Amino acid sequence: MEKEALDAISVAVQEGDADKLVSAVTAALENLPPLDIIRNGMMIGLKKIGDMFGSGEIFLPEMLMAAEAFQEAMKVVEPKLIESGQTIESSGKVVFGTVVSDVHEIGKNIVITLMKTNGFDVLDLGANVSPTTFVAEAEKYGADVIAMSALMTTTMTYQKDTIDYLKEKGLRDKYIVLVGGGPVNPEWAEQIGADGSSDSAVGAVELATRLITNKRGGNPA
Amino acid sequence: MINFIDVCDRAATGPMMLQKDYDTKVFIPALRRAIKKYDIKYDRKELVNTDDTLADRIFEAAVEFYSEVGTYITDTERVIQFSKPEILEGVEDAPKEAYFGEGPDRCVMKGRMPDSDELPYCHVGSGTNTTEENALRLVESYARISKAKTISIPIINTLGHIRTAAGAPTEVFASIRAMQYGREGCRRAGRPGLGIIDHVSSASTGVSTIASSAPQFGARPSDGWLVSPFAELKTDYSSLNQTAYLTAWGANIGQEAGPILGGYAGGPEGLAIVNTAYSLHGILVIRATYHLIYPIHMTHVCSSHPDVLWATSLSTQAIARNMGVPYYTLLYAAAGAATKMYFDEALACLLMLIASGSGIEDVHPGRAKITDGCTPVDMEFTCQVGHACKGLTRKEADKLLKKIVPKYADKLADAPLGEKVDECYDLDYFKPKPHFEKLYAEVLEDIKSEFGIDLVRY
């Protein structure tokens, strides 16, 4: 019975069907603890969606719909979770934005969606984000990672500015800094002193996971 | 066709919404409806579409889709909407020819049908980025390619030791210098009238474009200016300002877009519709006299992937058969320059485009991630393929691609990085270095023996 309910929740997430998911979650809350519903139902569905995206079986629209449905269901289950005094362990906290003078957001949005399906808490700073804003928001959010996207060769330079500003403030070692975007390659990441870059959303999530695990003293995959 | 001033009015008065809602509540549902209603399916049996009715359904789907989604303006958070009759009137009234260059180098780009005997329009330059030191010699090397009708000039990343930055004075300087080097490089190659149709590649902002387009720096209205949106079907006042300036000048405006397979467009079916819809946006919003598309695969960051090839063949045919606008395509290879894999990918891309009715541009090596990552040999290769393969039918192209694509498809993720132009090409003597010359001679021999295509070096 419990398994059936959790499976139904997972399937509703994968289908990106918010109405179906909210009613399945509402019904399950009668019998199951909220943390169980999130961990063993909703997160399982989201993980499957992330895996399917990684293997090219589905694309951004399907992943976005699943993430939206997940958020709707969280509105129902989160108050119960708070009441229960339990919490969900985060994979890591990320502030993510497209650098100043660059308005291209799709690459960032794809990575953010995939990060969320993998249990990261992500603060989306949007586009045209200045170096000081990246750092101020990371401080406020208690971030593990600062992630910067740039689509143009002429905006990549602002990724370097943010890293330089972190150094000036003596904060460089506090954060994992990831860079990405159309023209960004590992050579550039190394040159500006970033912790890494990736060509793909899947690669970015794997990189963030590995670096956070390292930083927390865990065993890197 | 609706007047540009009325388009600007709609940008200021159209329905207001959050960008996120435009993506998820307008764009994605409308695209899904169009795919279903017009029965667009990719059966993976073809790499080059050969079905005219499917190409025409893509056009109808794109018209309906664009009439529902319009173009989102980020500055005003409003949507510029067009009715179906307005879109169809725009298609009817859109320029069907674009004239570039002057004197003996003046030429025309026009629409071309699938399976056509006409020579495909051969353009070279493919959005290279470089240092100021290399810019002039690179342009000269492009302009020396006699079969190239027009060129693109490189983006200048550095001024001396300083990296240029978007929106900064360095960008204004770099844009002006790119323009000056572009014109001087053509003059040195003996083709002073050659049209440069990617103005101003070093400028990402309206102010840099307009500043560097002043005639004292060498720009002519017979060149072409690319005005880009961002994914998907969004633009801003900076781009509309460029259109306002260029329209008032009477210059050629190019609609450019790089839709992403796997992004908001979803899979190959959605990409084919979105590719096509961009030309509608180009006609109505950007006031395009010519059109450039560069679709790309989200995961592999290239266009030589089978799904992108099929979708692009389909949208190219939809546009060629139903719009007849001047049109060319820039595609991306995963492998870097001076590698055999690059030439396999480039050949597949070019054959698909030629048979489907597009003009061609050199396929960009190395996922466009490498400074100085393109070579003039890539550009010569493009013109050689264009001239050797005019008249190629879609059926013939599909058959060839079924032999070429398997050569590289499973290597896309780990494609070789290749070389930078300085490593494999002598920019003083304008010829490949010996190791690259040897590799290229082998490539041409392989193409002749494996596929029966005899590529003549000009």
Indicate the Cα dihedral angle A68, A73, A76, A78, nearest 10°: -80
Q: Are B143 and B197 in contact (CB under 8 A)?
A: no
Mutate: best of A59, A111, A129, partner B, most B CBs <10 A: A59
| B62-73 per-residue burial string, b: 16 or more CB within 10 A, e: under 16 | bbbbbbbbbbbb
**Tens digit of each residue's pLDDT (9 = 90 or more) over A163-197:** 999 999 999 999 999 999 988 999 999 999 999 99
Please tell me the predicted confidence (pLDDT) of residue B34: 98
- What amino acid occupies position B269? E
DSSP B102: -
Q: What pTM was computed for the model?
A: 0.92
Sign of CA dihedral A19, A21, A25, A28: positive
Give the residue-averaged pLDDT of A120-127. Answer: 94
| B219-239 per-residue burial string, b: 16 or more CB within 10 A, e: under 16 | bbebbbbbbbbbbbbbbbbbb
Please tell me the predicted confidence (pLDDT) of residue A183: 87
**Tens digit of each residue's pLDDT (9 = 90 or more) over B137-146:** 999 999 999 9
Give the residue-averaged pLDDT of B388-409. Answer: 97
Among the residues of B193-339, which ranges form H helices? 206-212, 237-249, 268-281, 306-322
Interface list for chain B against chain A, based on CB atoms closer than 8 Å:
19, 23-24, 28, 31-32, 74, 129, 155, 157, 163-168, 171, 174, 202, 204-205, 230-232, 236, 260-267, 270, 298-299, 301, 367-371
Q: Any idea what the Cα angle at residue B155 is, between residues B175 and B341, rounded to 5°?
A: 170
Which residues are CB-neighbours of B209 under 8 A, at least 6 positions away? B175, B199, B200, B203, B225, B242, B245
CA B136 to chain centre: 22
Q: Are B84 and B63 in contact (CB under 8 A)?
A: yes
Can you tell me the distance from the alpha carbon of B124 to that of B153, in angstroms, rounded to the nearest whole number? 9
Give the residue-averaged pLDDT of B349-358. Answer: 98
SS3 label, residue A5: helix
B445 min Cα distance to partner chain A (Å): 33
Q: Identify all chain A residues contacting B260, using CB atoms and an 8 Å cutoff.
A: 106
Give the residue-averaged pLDDT of B166-185. Answer: 93
Give the residue-averaged pLDDT of A76-95. Answer: 90
Please tell me the predicted confidence (pLDDT) of residue A221: 42
Can you tell me the distance from the alpha carbon of A180 to that of A189, in angstroms, rounded to the nearest whole number? 9
Sign of CA dihedral B163, B297, B330, B86: negative
Q: Write out the two tokens for B456.
A: 């003549």
Domains of chain A: 2-84 (1.10.1240.10), 92-215 (3.40.50.280)
SS3 label, residue B392: coil
For B97-329, which CATH superfamily applies?
Monomethylamine methyltransferase MtmB (3.20.20.460)
